[in-house]
Amino acid sequence: MRDEEKPAIRSLPLFREVSTQTFEGLMAVSYSQAFPPQLDLFTQGERADFLHILVEGSVALHADWNGREAVMAMVRPVSSFILAACIRDVRYLMSARTLERSRILMLPAVDLRAAIRREPELAAAVMSELASGYRGMVRQAKNLKLRTARERVAAWLLGHAHRQGGVNGFTLPVEKRDLASYLGMTPESLSRALSGLKTQGIALDGARVIITDRERLAAVAGYDPLIDEVGDDI
């Protein structure tokens, strides 16, 4: 892997408190690779051989059943994904594909498990990461089950703007079909929700969204710290 990638990976909660020896040992057996857009990284049902750490780009985690597909999560750098499957040495429950050109660090799961057994700090970090993932899953389930389509779209727009530094305008980072799937709706429902929000605090210019009235949009979303991940975890 490239030396310039190490500081960002070292700063991840998973590795922040581990010893230098453990971190360098894990990096020595890892390798990074650049992948083109729309490339399948792995498929659900395959054995989890590697922990994936996204350094650049974006990745969609999706599940398939009976001819239908749903986007379960969208991963942004720098972050790891599919940790639980690696720890348990089981099959992936989701598939992964790149959404744009991406660079990913591949850490062999067998080496990660061995390091966890040796170092309590890494074991504690893994527990924290898995707990955070569980809480994120509960938040997403509440968002899907308790909000209407328009409320979900409004909440996502506000959350994305916040994660981009509180900007008032941004280009949708993924295709509308992927965003619609992630938010639990059809592309047609997403288009209708976006169109309906034009009078509730946004303007649209193709794939670009401009937030014209943040308070009004927040009122539509019904911001709730027990659902939305904007701000501190509770």
CATH number of the CATH domain containing 206: 1.10.10.10
Model pLDDT for residues 68-118, shown as the tens digit of each residue: 999 999 999 989 999 999 999 999 999 999 999 999 999 999 999 999 999
- At 232 the pLDDT is 38
Euclidean distance between CA atoms 208 and 13, whole angstroms: 32
- At 60 the pLDDT is 95
62 and 124 share one domain: yes
132 and 42 share one domain: yes
Cα separation values, 80 from 8, 87, 123, Å = 12, 13, 15
Dig out the tokens for 215 from the structure: 């308070």
Q: Is 45 a domain residue? A: yes
pLDDT bucket at 3, cuts 50 / 70 / 90: confident
Side by side, the strands of the sheet bearing 95-98 are 40-42, 95-98, 59-65, 68-75
Which of 143, 164, 185 is at the close of a domain? 143
- At 231 the pLDDT is 42
Please, how many CA atoms are within 13 Å of residue 96, restricted to the half-sphere of its CB? 23
Q: Is 204 a domain residue? A: yes
- For residue 108, what are the β-bridge partners? 50
| Residue (of 140, 107, 142, 103) closest to 126 by Cα position | 107
164 and 182 share one domain: yes
55 and 137 share one domain: yes
Residue with tokens 């899907």: 144
Q: Is 231 a domain residue? A: no
| Residue (of 217, 232, 230) closest to 153 by Cα position | 217
84 and 197 share one domain: no
137 and 191 share one domain: no
Q: Is 234 a domain residue? A: no
107 and 204 share one domain: no
Which of 109, 143, 177 is at the close of a domain? 143
165 and 138 share one domain: no
Euclidean distance between CA atoms 64 and 95, whole angstroms: 8
Question: What is the residue type of 140?
Answer: Q
Which of 106, 124, 143 is at the close of a domain? 143
Q: Is 34 a domain residue? A: yes
Q: What is the pTM of this model?
A: 0.85
- At 4 the pLDDT is 84
71: domain CATH number is 2.60.120.10
68 and 137 share one domain: yes
Q: Is 132 a domain residue? A: yes
pLDDT bucket at 230, cuts 50 / 70 / 90: low
156 and 90 share one domain: no
Q: Is 114 a domain residue? A: yes
Euclidean distance between CA atoms 219 and 86, whole angstroms: 41
Q: Quick count: other Cβ atoms within 10 Å of Cβ 56?
A: 16
Range of the structural domain that residue 213 is part of: 148-221
Euclidean distance between CA atoms 204 and 193, whole angstroms: 12
34 and 135 share one domain: yes
pLDDT at residue 222 greater than cutoff 80? yes
Number of structural domains in the chain: 2
> Across residues 203-228, what is the average pLDDT?
93
109 and 124 share one domain: yes
Model pLDDT for residues 21-51, shown as the tens digit of each residue: 999 999 999 999 999 999 999 999 999 999 9
Q: Is 228 a domain residue? A: no
